[in-house]
Every structure is written in C-alpha cells, then in structure tokens.
C-alpha cells in the first residue's frame, strides 16, 4: 500500500537560512509522482513543486528544490533563504502512476515550519 512518512512534526529555522523538510515514501509501483504543498493558517493548500519518478534531475522552483533519492525512497524539500511568510504546514504527497492524471493524492502527516526573525 502507498504510504508517505514525514517524521518532523515541527521545525524551526532562522530567517534567510535554508531548511530541509523530510519525506519518505513507500510504493510498489515504479511509476509515481511526488508533490509538496504548503498550507498556511488560512487553510488553502498551495502547490509548490513536483517530481516524477522517471525525472533524471531534481526539481527546482524558485527557492524550492526537491532532493530526490529514488533508491532511498526519499523526496526532501529544501527551502533556501527562508522568509517569515514561509511559516506554515508543509505536506508531502504521492500519486501512483506518472501518467495517472486525475489520480488521488496520498498525503503525509505534515511538518509545521516556523521561521524566526
């Protein structure tokens, strides 16, 4: 069965520093997609970054990058130059099947990130 594990319930980071949020996954399907979402206190889930299992390079989107280690089944999110507005819950999610458009997402428990001024 698919499973996403986020082992860090809470993290603190100093403003302008980088932070890594951990995510490990379990699936028997060789084809899958990994997603990271940010959920501020307002409640809306905001898409940050995507990594497909067949992608050769780690995904990057502005200050967000994904450290994808396929053999270890990990997909850690790296946020560079943290800003106060980055304080939020962060969820890792997986969808089985890279070409499974419309497939459901399986979410982890989330990590609450707090950025200190």
Nearer to other proteins, 15 or 26 (CB): 26
Nearer to other proteins, 44 or 71 (CB): 44
What number of residues does the chain have?
A: 117
Contact 78, 67 (CB under 8 A): yes
Contacts of residue 58, defined as CB under 8 A and 6 or more positions apart, other chains included, come to 51, 65, 66, 67, 68
What is the nearest approach in angstroms of other proteins to the Cβ of residue 59? Answer: 10
Nearer to other proteins, 28 or 41 (CB): 41
What is the nearest approach in angstroms of other proteins to the Cβ of residue 4? Answer: 8
Query: 111-116 and 10-14 as β-strands: parallel, antiparallel, unpaired?
Result: parallel
Nearer to other proteins, 9 or 117 (CB): 9
* Spatial distance between the Cα atoms of 36 and 50, rounded to a whole number of angstroms: 7
Which residues partner with 3 through β-bridges? 26
What is the nearest approach in angstroms of other proteins to the Cβ of residue 107? Answer: 3
Give the SS3 label for residue 22. Answer: coil
The residues of the shown chain that bind other proteins, judged by CB under 8 A, are 4, 33, 35, 37, 42-47, 50, 52, 91, 93, 95, 98-99, 101-105, 107-110
What is the nearest approach in angstroms of other proteins to the Cβ of residue 55? Answer: 10
């Amino acid at each position: 069965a698919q499973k996403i594990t986020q082992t860090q319930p809470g993290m603190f980071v100093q403003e302008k520093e980088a932070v890594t949020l951990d995510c490990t996954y379990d699936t028997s399907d060789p084809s899958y997609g990994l997603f990271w979402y940010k959920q501020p206190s307002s409640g809306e889930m905001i898409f940050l970054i995507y990594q497909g299992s067949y992608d050769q390079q780690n995904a990057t989107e502005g200050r967000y990058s994904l450290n994808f280690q396929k053999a270890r089944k990990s997909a850690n999110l790296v946020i560079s130059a943290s800003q106060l507005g980055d304080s939020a819950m962060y969820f890792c999610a997986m969808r089985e099947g890279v070409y499974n458009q419309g497939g459901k997402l399986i979410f982890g428990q989330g990590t609450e990130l707090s950025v200190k001024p």
